[in-house]
Amino acid sequence: MTGNRGNSTGKNLGVLISGRGSNLQSILDAVAAGRLAATVAVVISNRADAAGLARAADAGVETLVLDHRGQTREQYDAQLIDALRARAVDVVCLAGFMRVLSAGFIEAFRDRILNIHPSLLPAFPGVDAQRQAWEHGVKLAGATVHLVDESLDGGPIVRQEAIEVRAEDTAESLAARILEIEHRLYPAAIGDVVRGGWRLEG
Ligand code: GRF
């Protein structure tokens, strides 16, 4: 597949993954279809067995495995920063990247790091958010794209979309419907950020 070089904003994305990479796929597809004006410059995984690496390779995007084991968080994040800067990455997109970022990393890409989280933040931060929401018995669930700051899943919200929880939902069916939202929401939110014309208030 080709088409991951079309880019009218001139912005380079670096996507960080640890696993399946379905959100990465939605970004690659949006770029290829011309719905997201940016280039995916590199996909970095901390795990060599992340299925998302093959998705990037299929799209003709450079992949890099940086194993975090045996390093401090600061050492690892310094490697990440170097790799992203070497590819002139403007915006870092976390897409199922299962690591907490150091203060140094957040500072290096201040207000240029995005994350997608499968809940209506600030409700249900942390792992297994869809199950947390389902077990709590919420009537509305959803997904959030936010800028990453030093708080856990707590930075400024870029986009959010809600769905109703159905009586017959299981934690799994709810997670599957939230994932459908995620795949629309993330490319759209990345588009908002790379187009610019926004500022943070408050
Ligand atoms: C998604 O549910 C995302 O919201 C969360 O991690 C999951 C990653 O899935 N941060 P995938 O690897 O993009 O398929």
pLDDT digits (tens, 9 = 90+) for 157-191: 999 999 999 999 999 999 999 999 999 999 999 99
pLDDT at 1 over 50: no
Q: Whose CA is nearest to atom 10 of ligand 1?
A: 96
**Ligand 1 atom at shortest distance from the alpha carbon of 25:** 13
Sign, CA dihedral 2-31-90-183, equals negative
Q: Which of 99, 101, 113, 116 to mutate to test the pocket of ligand 1 (most atoms within 8 A of CB)?
A: 116
Q: What pLDDT band is residue 4 in, cutting at 50, 70 and 90?
A: low
**Ligand 1 atom at shortest distance from the alpha carbon of 179:** 2
pLDDT at 3 over 70: no
CA of residue 31 to ligand 1 center, whole Å: 19
pLDDT digits (tens, 9 = 90+) for 136-163: 999 999 999 999 999 999 999 999 999 9
Beta strands in the chain (DSSP E): 12-17, 39-45, 63-65, 91-94, 113-117, 140-147, 157-164
Q: Residue 6 has what pLDDT?
A: 54
How many Cβ atoms sit within 10 Å of the Cβ of residue 115?
Answer: 22
Q: Whose CA is nearest to atom 9 of ligand 1?
A: 96
Q: Residue 9 has what pLDDT?
A: 79
Are 24 and 55 spatial neighbours (Cβ–Cβ below 8 Å)? yes
Beta bridge partners of 115: 94, 146
Annotate 25-47 with DSSP letters as a single string: HHHHHHHHTTSS-SEEEEEEES-
CA of residue 19 to ligand 1 center, whole Å: 8
Closest CA to 40 of 26, 28, 22, 30: 28
pLDDT digits (tens, 9 = 90+) for 56-98: 999 999 999 999 999 999 999 999 999 999 999 999 999 999 9
The pTM of this model reads 0.95
User: Is omega for the bond preceding 156 within 30 degrees of 0, making it cis?
Assistant: no
Q: Residue 5 has what pLDDT?
A: 54
